[in-house]
Structure formats: structure tokens, C-alpha cells
Amino acid sequence: MHRSIAWLALLLAALVLAACGGGDDASDGGGAGAGSTDPAKVKGTVRAIMEEVPDTDVVKEMLPEFRKAYPGVDVKIEALPYDQMRDKIVSSFLASEPTYDLIVVDNPWMTDFAMGGFLEPLDERIAAVQGYEPEDFSKPLRDIADVDGKTYAVPFYNYALALVYRSDLYEKAGLQAPKTLDELKAAAAELTSGKRSGIAMQPQKGYKIFEEWGNYLLAAGGSIQDASGKVTLDSPEARTALQTYIDVYKASAPDNSLNWAFDEAIRSASSDRSAQLISYNWTLPTVNESGKPFAIAEVPGGRAVLGAWYWGVPKNSAAKDAAWSFAAWVTGKEREKARVIAGGAPVRDSALDDPEVWEQGLGEDYYKTVKAILQDAAPLADGPNAEEMINVVGNELNAAVAGQKSVDEAISTAAKNAQEVLDR
Amino acid sequence: MLRRFPIRYRFLAPLVVLLALVVAYPLGYSVWLSLTDRTITRPETSFVGLEQYGSLLTNGGYGTAMRNTLVFVVFAVGIELALGLALALALQRQRWARDATRAFLLTPMFVTPIAVGLMFRFLLNGQLGPIPAALGSVGLSVDFFGTALALPTIVAIDVWQWTPFMVLLLLAGLESLPRQPFEAAKVDGASAWLTFTRVTLPLLRPVIAIAILLRALDAFKVFEYVFATTRGGPGDATDTLQYLIYRTGFQFFRLGEAAAMGFVLVGLVLLLVTILYRTLLRQEARA
């Protein structure tokens, strides 16, 4: 008797499995099941976690529209400050019951999250969305989400760095946006006068100085890693870049600003106490609110450090189809255009090239510059343990600016420590 | 089966189970973690024994963070004790508006430490902050977060926030002291200083010991001020153990190593607590 029940149970289980398999097959043909984004069929609640930033607010405002397109899907967004958000994402990965079904991924985390097996590979799902055109995403952005030949996330918004400068002050001094580090140094020195500094910097230990100095490094012709991932930081170019950074800081940055980060630099520029800064390209509308005319240009040297946020579906997500439906919807060509017009940072070439976006957004110059920046931008870091690598290098850079270490000592220690971190 | 256990153990059982769940299990788990190379982003974990404890000896960053933390604790608690005692003695003699003054003095304690950190980050901002602006008007330029002053600045923030706590404890202690020894000292013609060093301080010793203990335990956990103002910089001038542990465990995902770092700190704190008890409380018993 007992044995026959066991057999029956096994048979049932087999049937259920077969049914699921059938669902999977059907999805390739565009039907229901895993990977489906059919608005009539996808159902569920998506608990999404995002960072407290202007781009998140833009997405929040698009939710009612999504609800109309997908009546069966309820997206709940929880926005938190950066560090708290990362801690919660990692806890959710490890929990037996996930807290989040859809997450945003910062590019230094990409390889670690993908290799840790926390993210759902999205290639098949991307291919199944009609008219999605993933190749429309700026190439450097696509490359970051590609880990060992698989795509683990889709771009949400970029934070490539740009030179954000006071166009009126530049004009008055008869200057052009600097094309080289020497020109930047000269322009910063010339624009330093009285209470206004020539440039606001962010030499804070760790991430912030790394992100800013990376642009100096690229301008000097150096690099952090080569194509194979080996650390190439111990170079004369890196030393030149750091020496120039220190010279600019000493000559033209606000006094005693060694612990400054992004916020202080923005505030300084907004309150007419600095003539320019190297910062995220989307800070332009923020600094322009001050009433002073700011413009953006490519960073000196023309190659910027690229940072970007992505949408990722955790492997333990309780609503994968619904989560992906939202990610695919919000990153689709049409939504991208609306999102950029509403103030979101662009990730698709089509939005950057769209005259309607130019007109209703921040103007043709802005989007053309952003497109030029994105085209050849180099990712902040690539590979496993990227976050730690950024921190150990940023530590040495800050020590050199503080005068605790010589440029030479800081660069060679940074290179050695970075290689150790990557080899771990 | 239940009869084998006397009734007193059965009454104790719920508490034991609760403690095991909320204290012993997490503690035991983190001891286990510290003996493995558990890294969140890697699926495989192996047992490495005491290897991670050993490697802390040669970890320069850990040594620096340990030194910074000890300097922070000694100076912050020391200054808070001296200031707190002075304020408590003054407040004890106050005649009017006692309650209002006391309530006002305690306010810094009610602010969450991360907010205090952020507040000072902007108050002390070289270009935009009011404090450097005020100093600038008399021709002074102070680099509060530079190499030389960053750690003292963080000590000062802690002193601003936690001196009131010392005042609270010491004032309560002072007011509960018996009057007779003070009257006897007065009759004997002892000076104020002599009364303070020979009567007040010895009588107050247990309260001082407890106050130091509570503040030191809390100061070892310094994290928010560092996180909000310097992130451990310039270089590693203000890197503290808690911030290092946070970075290792949460930012760099190496839970095992972070746990080992944590347990060394626990060991150190237990040692200090024992020493404090012996020197301050036992002498009291002998006296």
C-alpha cells in the first residue's frame, strides 16, 4: 500500500516536471513560462531595491504607466542610501527567502555577483523581447554586464565622468574647455581668484579619489589593468597623472579639502565657490539650479572613467518573470526616451541621437557630449574583487595627496596591493 | 522523562533556550566563520583554522587600525572623564535653573551618531563650513581633516557628543555620596583641593570605574564619525577597527576574515575590562 502511494507521488512529480519543461520550451516561441514578458500573462509582486538618487525618482514616476501596461504586476520600490543598499542586497542573496526580486547592480559588483552565482543570466530573456535592440545600448555599457560571455544585467543609467565647468568664467578668461591635463592645470590656476577656487576636487580616501583620478590616469595614457586583467598601474604615466593631480589640488582646489567627496564638490560649485569640477555628467542640471551657467565637456584627454548602474534579476528572486518584465519595459527604446526626457541619465544611443530628446531635455550639446563620452569610456574597474581593488588603490592615492607618501611610493604600493587583491 | 530534571531547571529552560538562540548561536556561528575563509561571493568555503588570526599579525592595515582605535579610546574617554567630572562638580553646586541646565547639557546624546558625524563634516568643511569661516575671520586656517588633526577632530566630535553621558553618571554618583565625610573634612579644616582628592575621588571611584567602562566599550565601536567624515583617511590616519571590519566583511565580502578581526577585538576588550575591574573596583573593596 505504502509503496504504491510512493510510486503515485513519483509519477505526479514527473508529470509536474514535464509540464514545467513544456512551459520552458513554449517560452522560446514567445508563449507563457520562464522568460515571458507577455503583459496579459505575467503576474506577481516585484520587490525592487534601488539607490536614493534622482534617477530612481524618475523611475518611480513611471510606475503608474507600467501598471497600465502590465496590470498583473505590482512593482514596489524601496530606495536606500548606497552602503545600506549594498548590504541589504547581499543579505537578500544569502537568505533562504529573498527580500528582493529585482535589484540594481553597480558596475564594480558585476563580476563578483555574477561569479558568485547570485544573478540570473539574461541572454535568452533579452533575445525573447521583441524590438528590444540590446545593441542600441552604448557598447562600453554592454561590455560591463558581460561576464564570461553571458549577460547578467541590462543598463539602467550611466555615471560616466565629465568636466562640469562654468561657461561664463571660461568665456570671460578667453579659455576653451581643456583638452589635456596641462591645459586643465592652467585653466584651474587661472580661474582661481579670491574666494573662488579654480576647481573643486574629491580626494576622499578610497572610491572617490579613485574615480576622479582615473580620468587623470587615462589622460596621461596610463591604465589600471590590461585586456587580460593584469595590473598595469606601476607605470611612468600613472606617476605623471598622480603628480599632476597633486599639483592641481595644491594650486587650485579649495584649502583643506582632503576629505571632500562628490557632495562637497557639487555644493562648492553650486555656491559659486569653485569654477569647475570633474564629476558625473548628470550633475549638470543640479549645478545649473544655482543660476550660474554650467556646461559639460569631455574630460581632458577625451577618455572618461565610466560608471554605470544596471538592472539585475537575482537568482533567488521569487518573481523572475515579473521582475524581468519590468526591467525590459523600463529599459526598452520607448521608455528610455521618456526616461531621459524626464531627467534620467541615458544609456541608449537612440535616445542620445533623438532630436525630440534634445529639445525637451538638456539640449543638443549636452547629449552629443554624453554620447562622445560614452563611446570610448573605460570602466571604473573590471573583474573580481573590483570594489576592494578600487579601495586599496584609492587609499594610496589619498595618502600621496596628503603628503604621507611620495608619488613613487604610492603608485608602486597601489600596483602591488591591487595585484594582490585581484589574485585572491 | 521530564522528571529527571528538577523543577528549577525546568523553569530556567525557556530563558536558556532563548539565550542559546539569540546569543550563543550567532556567537558560535561567528567563531566558526572566523576559522573558515568564507567569502560571500564564492560558493566554496574551506576550514583554515587559526590561519586568519595569524595573518592579522602581519597585516599592516590591521595594526594601524588597532593603534588608531586605542589612541581614540584613551583620548576620547580621558577627556570626557576630565570634562565630565569638572562639569558634574560645577552642576552639583548650581543654585538656580538646575533642571533646565541639565536637560540642555544632555541634548548632544539624543542625536544619532551618524547625524553628528555628517553635521561636523559640514560644520568643519574648509570652504563652506561656519567654523573654519569664523576662524578665518581672525586669520586662522585649520585643516581639521588633514593628516595631523583628523584623528584629534574625531576625538573632539566624540567628546562633544558623549561628555554629557559622563556628566550624567558622575553627577548621580556625586549626589548619592554620604555627607558625613565631607562634614568631617570641613571640621578638620581641609582645603577644597584636599577634600576633592582625599574624599570625593576615593568615594566616587566605583562610579568613575563604571563610567569609564561604559564609555570605553562604546568608544571601541567608533564607526559613524569615521564613516561620515574621513572614511579612514587621509591615508589611514583615522582608520579604526570597526570601519576596517565593516569594509572587509560587507564591502569586500570576506566574512571569515572580518570575524577573526572582530574576535581579536573582543579578546582585547575583555582583557581591558578585567584589568579595569581589578585596579579600580578591587582597591575599593580593600579600602
Q: What is the pLDDT of residues A304-324, one digit of tens each?
A: 999 999 999 999 999 999 999
Residues B198 and B62 in one domain: yes
Whether residue B142 sits in one domain with residue B12 = no
Return the percent helix, strand and coil in chain B, to nearest 5. Answer: 75, 0, 25
Asked whether residue B92 falls in the same domain as residue B124, the answer is: yes
CB pair distance less than 8 Å for B251 and A388: yes
| Selected residues 91-150 of chain B with any CB under 8 Å from a CB in chain A | 121, 125-128, 132, 141-147, 150
B3 lies in the same domain as B139: no
CA A151 to CA B165: how far, in whole Å? 54
Are B49 and B11 within one domain?
no
Q: Give the residue ranges of chain A where pLDDT is below 50.
A: 1-33
Nearest to A278 by CA among A259, A290, A261: A261
Q: What would the pLDDT profile of B52-77 be if each residue is shown by its tens digit?
A: 999 888 888 999 999 999 999 999 99
Closest to A405 (Cα-Cα) out of A239, A180, A187: A239
CB atoms within 10 A of CB A273: 15
Same domain, yes or no: B271 and B164: yes
Residue type at A297? Answer: A
pLDDT of A21 reads 38
Per-residue pLDDT 10s for chain B (287 aa) are 556 778 888 888 899 899 989 998 999 999 999 999 988 887 788 899 898 999 888 888 999 999 999 999 999 999 999 999 999 999 998 888 888 988 899 999 999 999 999 999 999 998 999 999 999 999 999 999 999 999 999 999 999 999 999 999 999 999 999 999 999 999 999 999 999 999 999 999 889 988 999 999 999 999 999 999 999 989 999 999 999 999 999 889 899 999 999 999 999 999 988 888 887 766 655 55
Chain A positions in Cβ-Cβ contact with residue B230 (cut-off 8 Å): 204-205, 259
What is the rounded CA–CA span in Å between residue A282 and residue A293?
A: 15
Per-residue pLDDT, A14: 45
For cell 570575524, what's the residue? B259
Q: Is A45 exposed, middle or buried (0-12, 13-18, 19+ CB in 10 A)?
A: middle
d(CA A352, CA A345): 10
Q: Identify the domain containing residue B277 by its residue range.
A: 35-286
Coil, strand or helix: which one is A17?
helix
Nearest-Cα distance to chain B for A388, in Å, is: 6
B143 in the same domain as B54: yes
Q: How far is A164 from chain B (nearest CA, A)?
A: 19
Residues B167 and B255 in one domain: yes
Query: Which domains are delineated in chain A?
Result: 36-158+308-366 (3.40.190.10), 161-303+385-423 (3.40.190.10)
CATH code of the domain in which B47 resides:
1.10.3720.10
- Do B196 and B84 sit in the same domain of this protein? yes
Report the predicted TM-score, pTM, of the whole model to 2 decimal places: 0.87
Q: Tell me chain A's radius of gyration from C-alpha atoms.
A: 24
Interface residues on A facing B, Cβ-Cβ cutoff 8 A:
83, 86-87, 90, 93-94, 112-113, 115-118, 197, 204-206, 254-260, 264, 267-268, 271, 273-274, 384-385, 387-388, 391, 395, 398-399, 401-405
Across the interface, of B127, B150, B250, the residue whose CB is closest to A257 is: B127
CB-CB: which of B42, B233, B237 is closest to A116? B42
Cell numbers placing A383? 573583474
My answer on whether B48 and B77 are in the same domain is yes
Distance CA A154, CA B50 (A): 42
CA–CA gap between residue B157 and residue A92 (Å, rounded) = 35
A99: enclosing H helix or E strand: none
In this structure, the answer to whether residues B208 and B134 fall within a common structural domain is: yes
Total domains in chain B come to 2
Amino acid (one-letter) located at A90: V
For residues A202 and A264, is the Cβ–Cβ distance under 8 A?
yes
Question: What grid cell was written down for A172?
Answer: 570671460
Question: CA angle, A46 as apex, A42 and A49 as ends, to 5°?
Answer: 150
**Nearest chain A residue (CA) to B122:** A264
Taking the C-alpha atoms of residue B133 and residue B136, their distance in angstroms, rounded to an integer, is: 5
A283 and A296 Cβ atoms separated by less than 8 Å: no
Count of CB pairs separated by less than 8 Å, A with B? 108
Together in a domain, B95 and B186: yes
Q: How many CB atoms lie within 10 A of CB A54?
A: 15
Q: What pLDDT score does A34 carry?
A: 52
Q: Which amino acid is at B53?
A: Y
pLDDT for the residue numbered B248: 93
ipTM greater than 0.90: no
Cα–Cα distances in angstroms (integers) from residue B60 to residues A18, B64, B124, B196, in the given order: 58, 6, 30, 45
Question: Which grid coordinates are listed for A44?
Answer: 506577481
CA distances from A175 to A96, A178, A313 (A): 59, 8, 47
User: What does the pLDDT read at residue A11?
Assistant: 44
Question: Distances from the Cα of A261 to the Cαs of A80, A198, A210, A256, A300, in angstroms?
Answer: 19, 17, 11, 13, 20
